[in-house]
Structure 1
Amino acid sequence: MGALEPHRGDFYAYETLLPPDEQAMVLRLRTFLDERVRPVADDYWARAEFPMELIPGLAELDIVGAAYEGFGGRERAASRLFSGFVSLEMSRVDPSFGTFFGVHAGLAFASIYHCGSPEQRERWLPGMADLTSIGAFALTEPDHGSDIAGGLETRARRVGDGWVLNGKKRWIGNATFADLVVVWARDVESDEVLGFVVEQGTPGFTATKIEGKFALRSVQNADITLEDVHLDDDHRLAGAGSFKDTANVLRITRGGVAWGAVGLQMGAYETALAYVLGREQFGQPLSSFQLVQDHLATMLANTTLSLGMVVRLAQMQDAGIEADEHAAMAKASASTLMRKTVGLAREVMGGNGIVLEHGMVRYFADAEAVYSYEGTREVNQLLVGRAITGTGAFV
């Protein structure tokens, strides 16, 4: 396989910061996405279905858990920069596929890795790493999103040697087909938020697909009902004793969502660029008009600014100096610029920007979901504001 060539949207060639072995891994992923995912992405998006047949091919790339020791088929863990470029590459081609991967390999995998006991890691992570077992992450509830830290209503009650869970969750990606779901629930005795692994088929657990969704349509989001779900104590994540532990997972994965926002911008920019280079208006190439070039330059600048921020965030993660506010700023800023970029990309394509045939509408619609999940812009801005001033302003 040849050398990794930066995308047109990677104007400052940030991908070349990766060491050669990680560049080779990114190139293999890029080839898989271009050859296997891109040709079917529009069709599955239109049908609001997930391409399950692609999972074995993805598994062959051996990238789930690559940033953790003992996973990814490597003697050493891959860098956070590599993990970021994985998120970017996926969302550049199909934001829905990137979201599926982020939920499984980010939220669910990271919860068990960071909050599970050694026995729990050994029990669940190998299957997740080779994608024979798919994970989901259930935190958001019908009445609680941004206020979930204090408002979480799902309850866990200690009964004998186990636990009983009752409650509802909403917007849970992968949940309709996941083999295991990490569920966060409040202990009725201690009032602390605990983590549990609920396996598909457990009595009292139901996941119902959310219909009528017009962003990230291929992602199988579900409403979950937990009705007297009995779990043995070994299904309680041993290292999850408060919402601080949940927040630690979210800090890691929020950076991944920021990378996804960059990839989505890059995909929209490159789609718009290819379109204007191949279309004529008023008897001359569309790409020759000043306003079109201005829009293209703005899109590329937005993408480059966002990419520079998440690259530095990954470096801080690798150095162990990243804090909540750093991930929050990256997610808020990258997703805000993403929204502007996809708007300009759709604009230069005119009416053709809203039909699947020309490849833009998925980015345009999917951006709205990415803009909101893993912390809205407003909440992430307040996380940064608290770090700046030392005063929380959430209520």
Structure 2
Amino acid sequence: MKDLLKKISGIRQLLGSVDLDQVAKLSQKVDLPKMVGLVSKMSEEDLSKMMGMLKGGGKPKEIPPVNGDFYELGKMLPHHEREIQLRVREFMETEIKPIANDYWNRAEFPMHIIPKMAELDIAGLTYQGYGCPGHSALLEGFIAMEMARVDTSISTFFGVQSGLAMGSVYLCGSEDQKREWLPSMQRLEKIGAFGLTEPEVGSGVAGGLTTTCKRNGDSWLLNGQKKWIGNATFSDMTVIWARDLDDNQVKGFIVRKDNPGFLAEKLKDKMALRTVQNALITLTNCEVPENDRLQNANSFKDTAKVLRMTRAGVAWQAVGCGRGAYELALAYTNERKQFGRPIASFQLVQDLLVTMLGDLTAMQTMVFRLSQMQDSDELLDEHASLAKVFCTLRMRSIVDHARELFGGNGILLQHDIARFVADAEAVYSYEGTKEINSLIVGRAITGHSAFV
């Protein structure tokens, strides 16, 4: 009798909220006596489960937060540096993310963000003196990652300013040049560019730089062209590397934007890093005073010191680009439903996500150690080159899997991932191709140079 009363109570719960009109409509579609008979035969446990289903399954499923730092490496930064990292993250999320697609699509640079970025006080982060903060290379890497995680174009702009341009002055300039340029560049009041790559000479500049310089009394005449020079359409100065016709050595020059014989033309129709303003620079008897020659740049070895430092930064950029793609894909798989379920609940989707996370975590731990070596002055060319090779390869794989998880939506800019896929191609190629960097590492581990 007790069991029967419980079942009747359950049936009343099932039908109690249904008014008579609803019952009449339901009876036209369903054999109600038969349904009630079936319900009356159900066990108490099954009836309870059915009631739970009708109520929506109880508490909503709690989804873990989206976090690409699976091993929590960011927490290993000292507290004051961790605060800077998180401040940069907030800046990228609030100031850059809402406008990234628009400026990328129009191939324009958001000039209004430069003063806001200056307030972060992060340019020239690792340099000592001249208004620079003097923080660790590890923090600098995390900042490059945070920027690329949202917009690789902004990360590239900043890398050119803080790394290549300021780094050339810091490592190769005289004291007077450092005092003139570094404080204002650190405040982003003066913008810099870095001119090494040429139209017909990319990664092989060490052995075949075609831009030339020749001493002419108290000045130098520069002739030639540079290509893919980021920031150069609006920079206040561009560091130009040229081969001396007299001694065949590579020398560096600070070329000011209003210098006669200097022409920077915007490169158009790019498919990657469209927000970055790349230029084709033409130097026609461009006269530069001796005072603007980088006084401590006397061979390509001096140029290589700058590239070693910034190549490590590009490896961190690759981590950021990969992390941004992974986090976008992970969030999307919990939003996108197929067959009545989030696609995140499907086995093949989870397999792809774990593959991406494994690659991303390997990249993160590699560059983490790379920056530690930079901080302890152990970083060699081959260390930076190996990270550039591995991280850009894995980045490519991650963004490819991410686009796959977005399906057809992956080619729409509004979902962000298309921008990451395109920008990854530029990161894969600049600061030395995979092949060139592989030969640098190969030379180090075999003792044989395979360069032509």
1:155 corresponds in structure 2 to: 212
2:46 corresponds in structure 1 to: none
2:156 corresponds in structure 1 to: 99
State the alpha-carbon separation in 2 of the partners of residues 347 and 15 from structure 1: 28
Matches within 5 A, 1:191-230: 191-230=248-287
1:61 corresponds in structure 2 to: 120
State the alpha-carbon separation in 2 of the partners of residues 348 and 25 from structure 1: 33
Matches within 5 A, 1:13-162: 13-70=72-129, 74=133, 77-162=134-219
Q: Conserved in 2, the CA contact under 8 Å of 1:316 and 1:322?
A: yes
TM-score (norm 1): 0.97
Q: Which of 248, 252, 267 pairs up with 2:305?
A: 248
Once the 2 structures are TM-superposed, how far is the Cα of residue 72 of structure 1 from its aligned partner?
6.0
Q: Which amino acid aligns with 2:75?
A: T
CA RMSD in angstroms comes to 1.0
Give CA-to-partner distance per residue, 1:297-331, whole Å, 9 cap, x none. 01111111001000000000011111100000000
Q: Find out whether 1:346 has 2:403 as its counterpart.
A: yes
Q: Conserved in 2, the CA contact under 8 Å of 1:65 and 1:71?
A: no
Give the paired residue count: 388
State the alpha-carbon separation in 1 of the partners of residues 221 and 106 from structure 2: 37
Call closer, same or farther: CA 1:72–1:79 in 2, change over 3 Å: farther
State the alpha-carbon separation in 1 of the partners of residues 268 and 131 from structure 2: 35
Once the 2 structures are TM-superposed, how far is the Cα of residue 31 of structure 1 from its aligned partner?
1.0
Give CA-to-partner distance per residue, 1:196-230, whole Å, 9 cap, x none. 00010111100001111010000001100000111
State the alpha-carbon separation in 2 of the partners of residues 221 and 364 from structure 1: 19
Give CA-to-partner distance per residue, 1:59-115, whole Å, 9 cap, x none. 0011001211125664xx201000000100000000000000001101011000000
Once the 2 structures are TM-superposed, how far is the Cα of residue 20 of structure 1 from its aligned partner?
0.7
State the alpha-carbon separation in 1 of the partners of residues 87 and 151 from structure 2: 16
TM-score (norm 2): 0.85
Q: Report the secondary structure of 2:109's partner residue.
A: coil
Q: Report the secondary structure of 2:183's partner residue.
A: helix
State the alpha-carbon separation in 2 of the partners of residues 283 and 256 from structure 1: 43
Query: Which structure 1 segments of 5+ residues have no match?
Result: 1-5
Once the 2 structures are TM-superposed, how far is the Cα of residue 26 of structure 1 from its aligned partner?
1.0
1:336 corresponds in structure 2 to: 393
Once the 2 structures are TM-superposed, how far is the Cα of residue 283 of structure 1 from its aligned partner?
1.9
State the alpha-carbon separation in 2 of the partners of residues 147 and 322 from structure 1: 22
Once the 2 structures are TM-superposed, how far is the Cα of residue 359 of structure 1 from its aligned partner?
1.2
Q: Report the secondary structure of 1:107's partner residue.
A: helix
1:310 corresponds in structure 2 to: 367
Q: Conserved in 2, the CA contact under 8 Å of 1:152 and 1:186?
A: yes
Once the 2 structures are TM-superposed, how far is the Cα of residue 368 of structure 1 from its aligned partner?
0.4
Q: Which has the higher contact order (CA 8 A, sep 6+)?
A: 1
State the alpha-carbon separation in 2 of the partners of residues 312 and 113 from structure 1: 24
Q: Which amino acid aligns with 1:63?
A: I
Q: Which amino acid aligns with 2:109?
A: F
Query: Which structure 2 segments of 5+ residues have no match?
Result: 1-64
Once the 2 structures are TM-superposed, how far is the Cα of residue 27 of structure 1 from its aligned partner?
1.4
Q: Find out whether 1:324 has 2:348 as its counterpart.
A: no
Where does structure 1 differ by over 6 angstroms across 4 or more consecutive aligned residues?
none
State the alpha-carbon separation in 2 of the partners of residues 323 and 390 from structure 1: 15
Give CA-to-partner distance per residue, 1:108-144, whole Å, 9 cap, x none. 1100000001111001111100000000000000000
Once the 2 structures are TM-superposed, how far is the Cα of residue 231 of structure 1 from its aligned partner?
1.0
Which one has a bigger Cα radius of gyration?
2
Q: Which amino acid aligns with 1:315?
A: Q
Q: Report the secondary structure of 1:133's partner residue.
A: coil
1:172 corresponds in structure 2 to: 229
Once the 2 structures are TM-superposed, how far is the Cα of residue 28 of structure 1 from its aligned partner?
1.2
Identity within the alignment, %? 56
